[in-house]
Structure 1
């Protein structure tokens, strides 16, 4: 078994030292969590499916000129990514009222929004990932105004493209979360999409029935969580033959 230096372990993924300078290996776990890690569980096969789904979506985005950290998938649970400096801000793009947003504004879940709304959240489990404004972000130095402009522009492009892609397979993109990183190439820096794009961070509803096919099935104890992730992969045409397989994570050295 390959021994690699573990760089970071989060709730759903592990990052290992990559084979070349400036690269990392991203390993997808089956572990899952909700409500700022207060609810935890395991979704069997989730890591395999999210690896394939994120590979597919990141590749499609690259084809239309959206920069990402993704390089290529290595195996069932791992992909090669570029090492980036993660910006500690999550952007959430909302097309339909759902979850906490619906509660905050007293809207019925499923209400179509007048236009897509972008929100910023500071990445901090300890603080509960608080909602923040551009003033907070620039005042505390988490990102520069130009960084934010680039992030929002990319997020809206992603929203336009993925909304159409999912519509074509009978899914409604209700909302989604994006993370970004600074990719340094020689003296040049550009903002790129990082982390993953999968049912873990996208709300996806069936267009005809509004059935939820994402992590809300875990959050809300709706059951059939594995089947929902499999259905998204099936509609995208990328469900691994025979269903999700497995590969052991590389042994880590500290």
Structure 2
């Protein structure tokens, strides 16, 4: 098994013509060391988190695939690994913000209340060395990262996926705060790639307001 790329929370693997994502127990967080899926640095490890993430990603990918949303997901191939379809990655993070929290609140806290309903989409350049900077839609087009048509399609798909996830979470007494999607090109179209899991979204308990970590999310979704 060839290691193609190792990131903060997962490893891209290749075996002959088959590609996989292997999830890790590492978790990201803020500069103070607090665990936060929106963080850009590894702050700790949670035993069992890799398996919980693989199950959650499988759950959400299967759910959106059933609604005819194209993804790179093939199957859960081991307790901590999913098989994927290779794509040409688009270097963007498409952020859906249901509520004001995290970096959005840090940037615009004078203009918005904490947890205020937003229902908006932002684009970040996927570049850790640059700190994943915010991009306008015009910048995305000018930098030839994606076309106007691509942008509109990514926004439509992101909202569709967010609505599906929010509906599913709501059935378990949970609320989506924000989430990140990534996209790739394959067979002339766009696919949702990377992962859809507790590593790429913030979720809170509707009753207590508590933010859930990756293992707690899998437990509440009755996946473990």
- Tell me the TM-score normalized by structure 2: 0.91
CA contact (8 A) 1:18 1:80 kept: no
In structure 2, the residue matched to 1:57 is: 60
**2:143 is equivalent to residue 140 of structure 1:** yes
Paired with 2:99 and 2:29, the residues of 1 have a C-alpha distance of 20
CA contact (8 A) 1:26 1:81 kept: yes
Specify the SS of the correspondent of 1:74.
Answer: strand
CA contact (8 A) 2:26 2:42 kept: no
In structure 1, the residue matched to 2:205 is: 206
CA contact (8 A) 1:122 1:132 kept: yes
Structure 2, unmatched stretches of 5+, are 31-38
CA contact (8 A) 1:178 1:194 kept: yes
Specify the SS of the correspondent of 2:70.
Answer: coil
How well do the aligned residues superpose, as a CA RMSD in angstroms?
A: 1.4
Please give the per-residue CA displacement for 1:59-101, whole angstroms capped at 9, x wherever unaligned.
0110011111000001111111000111000111111111111
Which residue of the other structure, out of 7, 19, 32, is the alignment partner of 1:10?
A: 7
User: How many residues get paired?
Assistant: 214
Greater C-alpha Rg: 1
Superposed counterparts of 1:81-120, under 5 Å: 81-106=84-109, 107-113=112-118, 116-120=119-123
CA contact (8 A) 1:67 1:193 kept: yes
**2:25 is equivalent to residue 25 of structure 1:** no
Specify the SS of the correspondent of 2:129.
Answer: coil
In structure 2, the residue matched to 1:231 is: 216
Structure 1, unmatched stretches of 5+, are 215-228, 240-254
Deviation, structure 1 residue 39: 4.8
Specify the SS of the correspondent of 2:217.
Answer: helix
- Tell me the TM-score normalized by structure 1: 0.80
In structure 2, the residue matched to 1:218 is: none
In structure 1, the residue matched to 2:36 is: none
In structure 2, the residue matched to 1:67 is: 70
Paired with 2:87 and 2:5, the residues of 1 have a C-alpha distance of 13
Please give the per-residue CA displacement for 1:33-75, whole angstroms capped at 9, x wherever unaligned.
3356445321221111000000010001100111110000011
CA contact (8 A) 1:26 1:79 kept: yes
- 4+ residue runs of structure 1 moved beyond 6 angstroms? none
